[in-house]
């Protein structure tokens, strides 16, 4: 079986994923005084109220928004804050509105997929079995009736979503829709009303300032000096709380970035733009400062360079990465490796688990001496629909457990710092063909191969540009007949034909020693990965080679 058989979908070519376009680092603001905490809360609350009003105006404009309305909104905010604060608020509003539009479009596509699937299943006879490519009919008349009602609900939701998308209507919740919904389920969220209120208010604060190249330390609104001193330009209504000149407030806390600190220091020393965001973690009672900046777009290395020293093929699964090292010719080297992670607990804990697993993967890749890691270009957005998988709840949970979105961002960013490239490949048939061609031949008394390990080999070979199957046909004139394998045997009366094959009892590999004959040493079958085949296939190939 090859990568482009008839009846199979076309396989996309592998490509080198572009590197990260930005950097974000975070540090804690330690030893804040009560006055510092009060000022931060007042500034965040005041600017958060302005941000809510600006978002409301932006949503009301819809498709009628243009540069003039943007300038009018910024001018209205400048009087209640400052020109730079107003610029940060309007820019954040624009990004939030655009994100909501993209989410609305993804929601429409999900509804369309569900409606198509339900219409097809409703059109099938009751009890009709499905295939791997398409689901069949519903199991009973009762289920058919309930699904027909759900189809009407989905069609109504789709009509509403399409109408909102055409008119530019978006539904945005400052503070997060999940936190808003937990207000009605405080017991399930393990929160009291006062705790929820404190979190809700903190999430709606606004304490973010965009950087400016050429300005002192790269930011005039939230300024962080090289020695870690943090100062904030107060909005006009709160200017009386300033403790230094020009309406600025200097915090007593000093910040120090443990990660990428030297890179951050180099940017502020050159007065390059650095954006800052201050936020409160209510559960811990701690204030944090996040610094971020954009990176110049670096041209990715050529695909041939990434393949020069081999490849690490990685199969992404719910709970672990299955990796295998391949040389430049696509041959597996050594034993498979597993890098486990747990997607349980809080979001920070899950993120830390992924980062730890990626770190171990990258360290092993550096020891192997490769230039790149091959990984599937996974996107399960269209595969999560309840209508497609229906009762297969465990499979839906398995798909939802694979962190495709976060994994891509983390892996590309961390691999870039480790001077490694990421080669994205088409995920079609990697598990199926890997298990078919590589799982059985690589099993030894001391090595156990799973389908995931074999899929890692398939991914690595596809990233290297090789077919997944272990062996391809040799060139025509290197075959037994000089121009291709024989398809039929010559008849007994054909001239210049090859001799017929010996009877099965006299073949070398299964001939028994007969009385009066001298024993000969039988040739054993090759045990290399390239030549190992199942008994039936190897038996036929031996006949062709000896005929």
Task: Tell me the CA end-to-end span of the chain in Å, nearest whole number.
Answer: 25
Distance CA 344, CA 91 (A): 35
The predicted-structure confidence for 158-205, as pLDDT tens digits, reads as follows 999 999 999 989 999 999 898 999 999 999 889 999 999 999 999 999
Residues 6+ apart with CB under 8 A from 280: 40, 41, 44, 202, 205, 286, 287, 288
Helices (H), 170-292: 177-181, 193-204, 261-269
Tokens, residue 158: 């789709």
pLDDT for residue 495: 57
Higher-pLDDT residue of 7 and 504 is: 7
Higher-pLDDT residue of 542 and 301 is: 301
pLDDT for residue 21: 83
Please give the model's pTM, rounded to 2 decimal places. Answer: 0.73
H/E stretch holding 160 reads helix 141-167
Distance CA 24, CA 206 (A): 18
pLDDT for residue 359: 93
* CB burial readout 105-118, b (16+ within 10 A) else e: eeebebbbbbbebb
The CB density around residue 202, as the number of other CB atoms within 10 Å, is 17
Beta bridge partners of residue 233, listed in sequence order? 248
Output phi, psi for 339, to 5 deg. Answer: -130, 105
Judge whether 367 and 312 are in contact, CB under 8 Å. Answer: no
Distance CA 230, CA 498 (A): 90
Instruction: Identify which of 193, 255, 222, 176 has the alpha carbon closest to the alpha carbon of residue 40.
Output: 222
The predicted-structure confidence for 437-463, as pLDDT tens digits, reads as follows 898 888 888 888 999 999 999 999 999
Q: Is the dihedral of CA 218, 221, 225, 230 positive or negative?
A: negative
Domains, the chain, in order of start with CATH, read 15-19+300-464 (3.30.420.140), 22-294 (no CATH)
Question: Does the pLDDT value for residue 156 go beyond 70?
Answer: yes
Beta bridge partners of residue 280, listed in sequence order? 287
The predicted-structure confidence for 43-74, as pLDDT tens digits, reads as follows 999 999 999 999 999 999 988 889 999 999 99
Tokens, residue 393: 């709840």
């Amino acid at each position: 079986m090859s990568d482009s058989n008839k009846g199979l979908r076309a396989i996309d070519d592998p490509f080198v994923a572009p590197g990260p376009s930005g950097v974000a680092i975070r540090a804690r603001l330690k030893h804040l005084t009560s006055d510092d905490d009060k000022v931060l809360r007042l500034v965040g609350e005041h600017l958060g109220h302005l941000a809510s009003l600006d978002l409301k105006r932006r949503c009301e404009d819809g498709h009628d928004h243009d540069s003039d309305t943007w300038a009018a909104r910024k001018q209205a905010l400048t009087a209640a804050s400052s020109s730079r604060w107003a610029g940060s608020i309007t820019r954040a509003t624009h990004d939030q509105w655009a994100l909501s539009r993209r989410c609305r479009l993804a929601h429409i596509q999900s509804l369309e997929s569900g409606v198509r699937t339900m219409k097809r299943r409703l059109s099938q006879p009751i009890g009709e079995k499905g295939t791997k490519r398409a689901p069949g009919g519903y199991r009973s008349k009762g289920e058919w009736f309930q699904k027909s009602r759900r189809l009407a609900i989905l069609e109504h939701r789709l009509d509403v979503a399409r109408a909102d998308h055409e008119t530019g209507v978006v539904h945005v919740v400052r503070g997060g829709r999940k936190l808003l919904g937990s207000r009605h389920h405080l017991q399930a969220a393990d929160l009291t009303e006062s705790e929820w209120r404190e979190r809700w208010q903190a999430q709606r604060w606004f304490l973010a300032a965009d950087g400016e190249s050429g300005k002192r330390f790269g930011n005039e609104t939230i300024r962080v000096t090289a020695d870690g001193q943090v100062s904030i330009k107060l909005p006009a209504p709160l200017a009386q709380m300033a403790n230094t000149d020009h309406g600025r407030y200097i915090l007593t806390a000093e910040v120090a970035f443990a990660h990428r600190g030297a890179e951050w220091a180099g940017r502020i020393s050159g007065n390059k733009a650095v954006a800052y965001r201050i936020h409160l973690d209510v559960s811990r009672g701690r204030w944090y400062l996040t610094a971020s900046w954009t990176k110049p777009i670096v041209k990715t290395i050529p695909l041939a360079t990434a393949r020069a020293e081999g490849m690490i093929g990685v199969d992404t699964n719910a709970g672990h990465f299955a990796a295998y090292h391949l040389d430049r010719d696509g041959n597996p080297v050594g034993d498979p490796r597993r890098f486990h992670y747990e997607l349980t607990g809080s979001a920070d804990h899950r993120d830390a688990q992924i980062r730890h697993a990626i770190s171990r993967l990258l360290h092993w890749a550096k020891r192997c001496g490769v230039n790149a890691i091959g990984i599937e270009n996974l996107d399960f957005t269209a595969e999560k629909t309840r209508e497609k998988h229906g009762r297969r709840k465990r499979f839906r949970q398995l798909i939802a457990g694979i962190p495709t979105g976060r994994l891509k961002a983390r892996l590309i960013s961390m691999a870039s710092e480790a001077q490694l490239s990421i080669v994205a490949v088409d995920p079609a048939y990697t598990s199926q063909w890997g298990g078919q061609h590589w799982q059985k031949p690589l099993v030894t008394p001391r090595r156990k191969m799973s389908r995931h390990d074999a899929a890692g080999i398939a991914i690595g070979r596809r990233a290297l540009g090789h077919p997944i199957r272990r062996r391809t046909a040799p060139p025509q004139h290197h075959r037994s007949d000089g121009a291709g394998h024989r398809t039929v045997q010559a008849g007994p009366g054909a001239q210049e034909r090859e001799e017929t094959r010996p009877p099965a009892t006299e073949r070398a590999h299964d001939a028994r020693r007969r009385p009066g004959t001298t024993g000969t040493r039988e040739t054993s079958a090759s045990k290399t990965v390239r030549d190992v085949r199942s008994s039936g296939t190897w038996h036929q190939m031996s006949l062709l080679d000896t005929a």
